[in-house]
Structure 1
């Protein structure tokens, strides 16, 4: 999942086929210890071993019933490792997230790498132990989840291939979206990356993807695909035509990969991934993509013989020049509200953005002409049935009602206000401008992102709480609380630690919009100090400015910050 400005987005990899395999728990990372070539897990119920290659092994004969029960453990929505509750999600979504975030730790290198020449690819595909590992994972214990990804690909790949062809990119690269999101447009990562191509906001802005309270164009499958194509093309050109380095930079960032090249004096992805500088997620990124491509090109060979591919995404497009409720759009098209929302995943609320001069709206195929015929007969003032109002000092329900020509009782009823005399400044009210209103806008005040959960890290030899806290920009106290460590400093290789805060749903209705400012670093400044001053996170500052964990601030440096209006530090 994307991490940093100018170089984000992740790719994924293939698999590995080792002679004999045992079950690998998708929800946990594995670590091969020095000495015994065994795998240590935080979980006591994962049956794991390794062979002479030093790779974690997957048992292909492990019963599906056990796989299902293990997969259900990923419902961290119900109870995560840190003991804090997060939002509930479906089993299918939990399994998607578990497979997307699978990150085993390999003790040894990738083994012998050979080119795949029996299948036609337009992207350089090779096979080695790491690629085979993910091939076996995707076609083995994670088979059900990967099957869903393959079937979902039918909806998006035709459009994505058409767009990639416009940029003269390998069409096989479109499978990057599979590894990024499992072709889920509402995917949202712990790093705040969103959409099928998993852009973070800062990188999205670079590639013309707009995000505000009303919409998130990172979720627009067509616009996001254009952005991903441009981003990959830029990385390919920067790395002088090396697709493997370009793909790795999509995950880790251009600067990170460039520093790895300089550190190891090599432009070979496999060589620079043997060292400790790159994170495991980046090392797996390319192998996952290669594995997915290998299976997708010949699914029958890997046992996927009953695929039911989704129908390609098709739609009409119309432009609306005024704020228009999607309930009205659905009525005029004769379809459900949910179908309109599904065709327009970038729209986060119940309406097209009120401040936009125009908005391109997707409609079911063949419905544009009858829609426009009816739509143009509706007065502009009647196209929006609701208005969002942010409470300011001096507001009362009576004043608000008079200003908009509506009834106080309707405001109270729709917003479920228990004490009409106590309005909280900064809170959001939905004003029903027409009779026959529903609670739909109130339901959609909250974002509908499908969030991944708390980031985890597998302890390695030589790690300490101090080192881990520095690496993930958190405090030792937070690590102790999240992982219930008390005052103990004892860590064991293979132990899994939670290294980020809980990923709960955010209620955006009470959040203020942000503005951009440029901060000049002063002597003695740290990212933590600056974050505290402007009420933003250090990781956000790093993402906005494409900074690595080891970046050193220097007086006079300029940092871009996204802060609440009126917050001058």
Structure 2
């Protein structure tokens, strides 16, 4: 009997030690913060998050019981975090708890919204992370960065799902200009963010420090490490970090928790009306407005914007380089078949700011009724600029000038101007001295006097001909 009691006490001692060790690894009770700064995404109005998607928060997905929040004991949170299948440390303390309660109480509708969008975005994030061998739970980083809003812009200008600053985004190959902002491109921004996170992990070898550095930059994390005496544990440098970053890892842990245990808190995914499961990509080689595409393909402009948020002004500048356009799969072949119709659909209405430039490149600037018409050719597989120029009996420089090309690279399917045809002009009084009567004039004979004109920058044959009251064909003959 005595032996049994001793063995029992021994097992209890070992079990208590293991439990204490487990608790020590997952809770950091000494952390207290009475001035928590929540991530910007947790404090924005929900209406801002619903602009891009048609979300019905009153409708829940099937088999989900919606109700008021259920509050749990700290030990329940601790146990749930510890049991999550993750290689990352998901600690629990009062700061983490405050972020969990923020989501479970005050931001319940936001969680519903993010759960609906998660079906669209999370598979994309997971694939990119898995390709690099990184923890899949990092897919929840955009939850605290942008609340899964691809066009989110922070107070300091960080943009997109992954909230890239312009300098960092460009450093990771994202294009940012007046028409295109690839920080808003879900695919490209995700690939760039994964590379950035991988680079940060190569520096710190600790995911909590990586997440902190993603938020405030490696410089601030390095300063916090130095101020703490060289400690490289997030919770040990907590008070040395910027106030806005201190709550960042707790928010990330809370996001992992709430996106996994939302049902335990009676939160249901909202219903998204316009989620498209089957998507495809086509490359655009012309300057096109999204409304032109919407009009011909019978798509809503809001859906095109949702699928292609990188085009800030709804313009795809495909005449400078090819851009990927995401479409519902059933519309892809229609887009290819009707590409000419799309490009010409109300072009003058949607691309009015291009009128002067287009006219200059096409050689029809400043004309009223037009003095030339363009002859077009669509590039086929195996073509190059030299072959196209030779086939149409024009010079390579003419071909490049007419089409505004700066290099010899050309994409299949692009429409090129390969020639110009003269169009009859209304009768105009010729410039004096172009053809004058002789002063004697009585014989009816005329004397031809050459009038010379020095070509200026920006001139075209059509422009010169109209200015001097002659035809393009006459200029070419003379």
TM-score range, shorter chain: 0.5 to 0.7
Contact 2:116 2:269 in 1 (8 A): no
Tell which deviates more after alignment, 139-148 or 250-259. Answer: 139-148
Whole-angstrom CA distance in 1 between matches of 2:111 and 2:206 = 28
Whole-angstrom CA distance in 1 between matches of 2:141 and 2:343 = 45
Structure 1 residues 360 and 306: CA distance shift in structure 2, 3 A: closer
Whole-angstrom CA distance in 2 between matches of 1:309 and 1:120 = 28
1:224-263 alignment runs, 5 A limit: 224-239=189-204, 241-263=205-227
The residue that corresponds to 2:280 in the other structure is 316
- Please, what TM-score do these two structures have when normalized by structure 1? 0.48
Whole-angstrom CA distance in 1 between matches of 2:277 and 2:367 = 42
1:112-127 alignment runs, 5 A limit: 116-127=81-92
Alpha-carbon deviations, 1:212-248, whole Å to 9, x = none? 1111100000000001100100001111x21011110
Whole-angstrom CA distance in 2 between matches of 1:93 and 1:330 = 21
Structure 1 residue 403 corresponds to structure 2 residue 365? yes
The residue that corresponds to 1:347 in the other structure is 311
Given candidates 156, 165, 173, the residue that maps to 2:121 is 156
Structure 1 residues 369 and 309: CA distance shift in structure 2, 3 A: closer
- RMSD of Structure 2 on Structure 1 (CA): 3.6
| Deviation, structure 1 residue 387 | 3.9
Whole-angstrom CA distance in 2 between matches of 1:130 and 1:336 = 44
The residue that corresponds to 1:206 in the other structure is 171
The residue that corresponds to 2:148 in the other structure is 183
Whole-angstrom CA distance in 2 between matches of 1:325 and 1:91 = 25
Whole-angstrom CA distance in 1 between matches of 2:110 and 2:365 = 53
Structure 1 residues 271 and 301: CA distance shift in structure 2, 3 A: same
Given candidates 374, 381, 384, the residue that maps to 2:338 is 374
Structure 1 residues 309 and 267: CA distance shift in structure 2, 3 A: farther
Structure 1 residues 286 and 53: CA distance shift in structure 2, 3 A: closer
Q: Secondary structure at the match of 1:153?
A: helix
Q: Identify the structure with the greater helix proportion.
A: 2
| Deviation, structure 1 residue 261 | 1.0
Whole-angstrom CA distance in 2 between matches of 1:54 and 1:327 = 50
| Deviation, structure 1 residue 56 | 7.4
Whole-angstrom CA distance in 2 between matches of 1:289 and 1:314 = 30
| Deviation, structure 1 residue 121 | 2.3
Structure 1 residues 211 and 54: CA distance shift in structure 2, 3 A: closer
In structure 2, the gaps of 5 or more residues are 1-26, 37-42, 52-76, 358-363, 370-478
Whole-angstrom CA distance in 2 between matches of 1:313 and 1:208 = 28
Aligned length: 303
Structure 1 residue 359 corresponds to structure 2 residue 323? yes
Given candidates 284, 301, 312, the residue that maps to 2:264 is 301
Structure 1 residues 162 and 383: CA distance shift in structure 2, 3 A: farther
The residue that corresponds to 1:329 in the other structure is 293
1:83-122 alignment runs, 5 A limit: 90=47, 116-122=81-87
The residue that corresponds to 2:236 in the other structure is 271
The residue that corresponds to 1:338 in the other structure is 302
Structure 1 residues 406 and 237: CA distance shift in structure 2, 3 A: farther
Structure 1 residues 389 and 320: CA distance shift in structure 2, 3 A: closer
| Deviation, structure 1 residue 145 | 2.2
| Deviation, structure 1 residue 379 | 7.2
1:462-481 alignment runs, 5 A limit: none
The residue that corresponds to 1:284 in the other structure is 247
| Deviation, structure 1 residue 146 | 2.5
Whole-angstrom CA distance in 2 between matches of 1:323 and 1:372 = 15
Whole-angstrom CA distance in 2 between matches of 1:313 and 1:126 = 35
Whole-angstrom CA distance in 2 between matches of 1:137 and 1:378 = 48
Whole-angstrom CA distance in 2 between matches of 1:157 and 1:337 = 24
Tell which deviates more after alignment, 249-258 or 369-378. Answer: 369-378
1:490-529 alignment runs, 5 A limit: none
Whole-angstrom CA distance in 2 between matches of 1:330 and 1:183 = 25
Q: Secondary structure at the match of 2:211?
A: helix
| Deviation, structure 1 residue 314 | 4.2
Whole-angstrom CA distance in 1 between matches of 2:177 and 2:186 = 17
- Please, what TM-score do these two structures have when normalized by structure 2? 0.57
Given candidates 107, 124, 130, the residue that maps to 1:142 is 107
The residue that corresponds to 1:544 in the other structure is none
Whole-angstrom CA distance in 2 between matches of 1:74 and 1:114 = 28
Given candidates 130, 133, 146, the residue that maps to 2:98 is 133
Whole-angstrom CA distance in 2 between matches of 1:235 and 1:74 = 28
Contact 2:281 2:325 in 1 (8 A): yes
Contact 2:111 2:269 in 1 (8 A): no
Greater radius of gyration (CA): 2
| Deviation, structure 1 residue 91 | 6.6
Whole-angstrom CA distance in 2 between matches of 1:242 and 1:341 = 37
| Deviation, structure 1 residue 326 | 1.7
Contact 1:332 1:375 in 2 (8 A): no
